[in-house]
Structure 1
Amino acid sequence: MIENLINNLKGQLTGELQSKFNLEPEKANQSADMAKDSVVNELRQRAGSGDTGGLLDVLKGNKAPADSSATNSIINKYVGDLTTKLGIPQNIANQIAPFAINFIMQKIGGQAGAGNLKDSDLLGGLMGGGLKDKLGGLFK
């Protein structure tokens, strides 16, 4: 569910990266894909370790992305990916990363805040069947 939601935002995020940071279309597209992967990987890791409390607060829009250790971790890893994998200069990557990650988290938070997403929508698909089944009705 989260991946689908982020995929739906990709076009908008790609356009923003092109206009705000003067990225060429291919790099903007790759940057958007990497932002999605960064968010999803961090969410999977945290959901798998049971660290969902603060994460759910951000995903539900109850906590600002900038106030979250999960979001800050995502941003730091994403900066590294932008510089090493796409060759984007560090000073530009330091601007792109917070923008892109906060953009994604705020959009997810907006959907959750509007009541369009439940906890199971936010985390269920990230944890895989085994852990999800073990937790039973927690995500209903």
Structure 2
Amino acid sequence: MIENLINNLKGQLTGELQSKYNLQPDTANKSVDLAKENLTDELKQRASSGDLGGIMDVFKGNKAPGESSAVNNVINKYVADLTGRLGIPESVAKQVAPFAIHFIMQKVGGQVSSGNVSQTDLLGGLIGGGLKDKLGKGLGGLFK
């Protein structure tokens, strides 16, 4: 589900990266794909360890993205991928990464807080049915 949400805002984010950071269309497009990959990888890792509270607080609007260690972890990995995999200069990557991740978190969070997307729907594709049932009890009723 989160992949679909990110895909839906890909065009808008790609355009923002082109206009704000002068990225070429292909590089901006690949940058969004890397952002999606980094964010979903972090969510999967946290879901498998039962540690989704902090990142869900960001999605629910209870915490700013910059206050979340999970979001900061995504941004740091994303900077490394932007420089290493796409060849974007580190100085630019350090501007692009927080902008792109915060943009995604804000847009996805808006869908969650407006009720258009439930937390269960958001995380369902990441953790699957059986694991979701096991984690639900250990996550303080996150899936209620």
The alignment's TM-score, normalised by the length of structure 2, stands at 0.91
Alpha-carbon distance in structure 1 between the residues aligned to 2:132 and 2:113:
23
Aligned to 2:100: 100
Secondary structure of the residue that 1:88 maps to in structure 2?
coil
**Stretch moving more, 12-21 or 111-120:** 111-120
1:125 and 2:125 matched: yes
CA contact (8 A) 2:50 2:135 kept: no
RMSD: 1.4
- Aligned-residue identity in percent: 69
Map residues 11-22 of structure 1 onto 2, 5 A cutoff.
Answer: 11-22=11-22
Aligned to 1:36: 36
1:64 and 2:57 matched: no
| Structure 1: 5+ residue stretches without partners | none
Secondary structure of the residue that 1:115 maps to in structure 2?
coil
Q: Deviations over 1:24-64 (max 9, x none)?
A: 00000000100011111111111111001112111112211
| Structure 2: 5+ residue stretches without partners | none
How far 1:110 sits from its partner (Å)? 0.9
The alignment's TM-score, normalised by the length of structure 1, stands at 0.94
